[in-house]
Structure 1
Amino acid sequence: MDWNALRDACRSLEPGSELVTPVSERAFRIEDALEDRLVIQFVDSGEERPLHREQFDVLAEQLEGGPIPLAELPPGVEPYASVLSLSAEHVSDGETLERAPEEAVAGESPHIVSPEDARTSLERVHDDATLLADQLERLERDGRDEPSTLDTETLTDLYVLLSDVQRGSDRVRRTAGETLLERLGPDQQLHGRFGTVRRTTRDRRQPRDEDVVLDALDEHGIPHEWVLGIDSDKLDVVLAVTDLEPDAVYNVEQQVYVQKTGVDEGEKYSRLQGLAERLENVDAEAAGQIDESLYDDLSDLEQRLEEALSAG
């Protein structure tokens, strides 16, 4: 095994990339590539662990006898297999690890997760919100703050970003809500800087079994026909097996709307990298001016809030 080539393959990974263990599917990052070992960090726990050169040699020697089924690997060996698949000498199809029958291209591994795909839910929301803010800032600066004034491509990008921010923030909101419910007692409120939340209970009723409902009606002398209605599921079956037309039994109202059918995550991530590079190019003097201006704005806002509160 060419240890130096393997280290070079690890070092050439795109910043932010992750590897995933083939069985337990634990994501980890390569933190350092040293002379005698690699240092990895698992994303889920933050645990750092060394992967020693001699252990890679042992695994590579075993591959001389033929492919190794990845499903049979012990958990401690999984990271070695994922990293070894980066080598041009070895190849993984996601099911087995083996010596490459021909010279392969280093870095082509099914166990690599690209930087854009490796982001957490919070990071994705942050990135989409950053892109949306930049897009809105550009439109406002160009005096095009009304959707009707935008060209089709720009309007499409705006719609996609708005949709992604809404979808991503809704997912995070649900997760945050579930966690808050564990901390909220009955009639309790929790206060943050931006607002207040409380536990709310809402009854969602579903009919009991038909026999139970009808028996309850009989006990109170209520005619069955008062509650019996048309079952749409049964109607759909009838429509599927007969020549009955849908408009004979349904009031059909057609709704036309825009549906997002695709997102170019690579283009979005490339744009984010461009924004990051622009921020890095701001010199210290300009950054100081920005910070001072921001500080003045915040101080002014704080003073106005205090005045409003005291007046109230």
Structure 2
Amino acid sequence: MSVGHEELWNAIQERCTALEPGTELVTLLSDRPFRVREISTDRLQIRFDDSGEKRPLWREQFEVLTDRLAEHRLAVAELPPGVEPYATILTLLADFGVEDDEIAYVPDPEMGGGSPYLISPADARTRPERLHDDAILLADLLDTMDPVDPETLETGTLTDLYVLLSDVQHEADRLRQTARESLLSRLGPDQELHGRFGTIRRTTRERRRPKDDETIFDVLSENGIPREWVLGVDSDKLDIVLAATDLEEEEVYDVEEQAYVQKTEVEEEEKYSRLQGLAERIEEVGGEEGEELREDLRDLEARLGEALSA
């Protein structure tokens, strides 16, 4: 390997410094997400997002690992947990990569440090962060619509409105389910909990599921009830019959066509870029108007935070 230790360490520092804020990396084998938090003269300080654990990656250990890779490839499946983040950082450099499930020194101008273990800031956001960001984008879009009447909107704007409403609903429902599980552990029978925005209480409902066929038929027989009374058409079996015979669907189904809008793609990078643009626009506005915008944003974030924590 022609790269010297000094040159290697400089390349590592430069590549990590160039990472966009919020960028996440994942370890090669265990898929543990981590971020580079600090770059020093003799180490990198990383923090694992799944546990909050902080760990230094020492310059000398990078040198030992690269010296080893100069002579032998290392199987990814055999990497010790402590070596994984070192190997992940090396894949940021153009001279290292993973081939045939092995990490190796593979100088190739075509690679250019395009690590498959690097996650962009937009993709690295947590679900609550995505909900927060989508809610801000939705609020910004609603601010530009006066009046908020879908019939008056240009098609592109109406499409963006639908996508953002769908994304906010989707992420909010996921977070609501998580919050529900935590609240159920704190709610006793007939107990109510009060927050600033509302009140909740424990509610129960029954969901019935038939027992197995033999158990049901035995009980019916014991009570003199003909089993034919409970037998019906099984739609799954009916579909098999349709596929295997010349029977037409219209002969056994009442078919009704319903039109609906389906979200087929979300431009996450475009949304993230818009968020950055909003932040930059607010920073550029000076004087009383700028402070008013910043205050509105802080108020929105505070209200969202309170709603999520409640």
Query: Is TM-score (shorter-chain normalized) higher than 0.5?
Result: yes
Residue in 2 aligned with 1:165? 168
RMSD across aligned positions (CA): 2.1
Identity of aligned residues (%): 58
Residue in 2 aligned with 1:268? 271
> Aligned partners of 1:293, 1:80: CA distance in 2, in Å?
43
Residue in 2 aligned with 1:108? 114
Instruction: Choose 84-93 or 11-20, whichever is displaced more.
Output: 84-93
> Aligned partners of 2:156, 2:202: CA distance in 1, in Å?
43
> Aligned partners of 2:257, 2:20: CA distance in 1, in Å?
48
The 3 A distance-change label for structure 1 pair 293 and 208 is closer
Aligned runs of 1:251-262 on 2, under 5 Å? Answer: 251-262=254-265
Residue in 1 aligned with 2:215? 212
**SS of alignment partner, residue 159 of structure 1:** helix
1:11 aligns with 2:28: no
> Aligned partners of 1:108, 1:244: CA distance in 2, in Å?
55
1:234 aligns with 2:237: yes
Residue in 2 aligned with 1:248? 251
Residue in 2 aligned with 1:97? 103
Which runs of 5 or more structure 2 residues have no equivalent in the other structure? Answer: 299-310
**SS of alignment partner, residue 51 of structure 2:** coil
**SS of alignment partner, residue 117 of structure 1:** helix
CA shift digits 1:259-290 (9 cap, x unpaired) = 01101111111001001112222436445556
Instruction: Work out whether residues 150 and 158 of structure 2, in 8 Å CA contact, stay in contact via their aligned partners in 1.
Output: yes
TM-score by length of 2: 0.88
Structure 1 counterpart of 2:57, which letter?
Answer: L
1:55 aligns with 2:58: no
Residue in 2 aligned with 1:306? none
What's the offset of the Cα at 1:193? 1.4
CA shift digits 1:192-230 (9 cap, x unpaired) = 111122222111111111111111112222222221111
Aligned length: 292
CA shift digits 1:128-178 (9 cap, x unpaired) = 1111111111112xx4x2111112111111111111111111111111111
**SS of alignment partner, residue 185 of structure 2:** helix
The 3 A distance-change label for structure 1 pair 117 and 291 is closer
> Aligned partners of 2:19, 2:297: CA distance in 1, in Å?
37
- Given candidates 124, 135, 141, the residue that maps to 2:141 is 135
- Misfit runs of 4+, over 6 Å: 290-295
> Aligned partners of 1:120, 1:289: CA distance in 2, in Å?
29
TM-score by length of 1: 0.88
The 3 A distance-change label for structure 1 pair 286 and 42 is same
The 3 A distance-change label for structure 1 pair 103 and 41 is same
Residue in 1 aligned with 2:304? none
What's the offset of the Cα at 1:47? 2.1
What's the offset of the Cα at 1:100? 1.9
- Given candidates 61, 65, 90, the residue that maps to 1:84 is 90
Residue in 2 aligned with 1:203? 206
Instruction: Work out whether residues 95 and 113 of structure 2, in 8 Å CA contact, stay in contact via their aligned partners in 1.
Output: no
- Given candidates 28, 32, 43, the residue that maps to 1:26 is 32
CA shift digits 1:212-258 (9 cap, x unpaired) = 11111122222222211111111111001000011111111111111
- Given candidates 140, 151, 154, the residue that maps to 1:151 is 154
The 3 A distance-change label for structure 1 pair 294 and 160 is closer
Instruction: Work out whether residues 94 and 110 of structure 1, in 8 Å CA contact, stay in contact via their aligned partners in 2.
Output: no
Structure 2 counterpart of 1:58, which letter?
Answer: V
Instruction: Work out whether residues 89 and 104 of structure 1, in 8 Å CA contact, stay in contact via their aligned partners in 2.
Output: no
CA shift digits 1:12-60 (9 cap, x unpaired) = 0111101111112111111111111111111122222111000000110
Residue in 1 aligned with 2:305? none
Instruction: Choose 231-240 or 214-223, whichever is displaced more.
Output: 214-223
> Aligned partners of 2:214, 2:141: CA distance in 1, in Å?
59
Instruction: Choose 249-258 or 117-126, whichever is displaced more.
Output: 249-258
The 3 A distance-change label for structure 1 pair 181 and 29 is same
> Aligned partners of 2:244, 2:227: CA distance in 1, in Å?
29
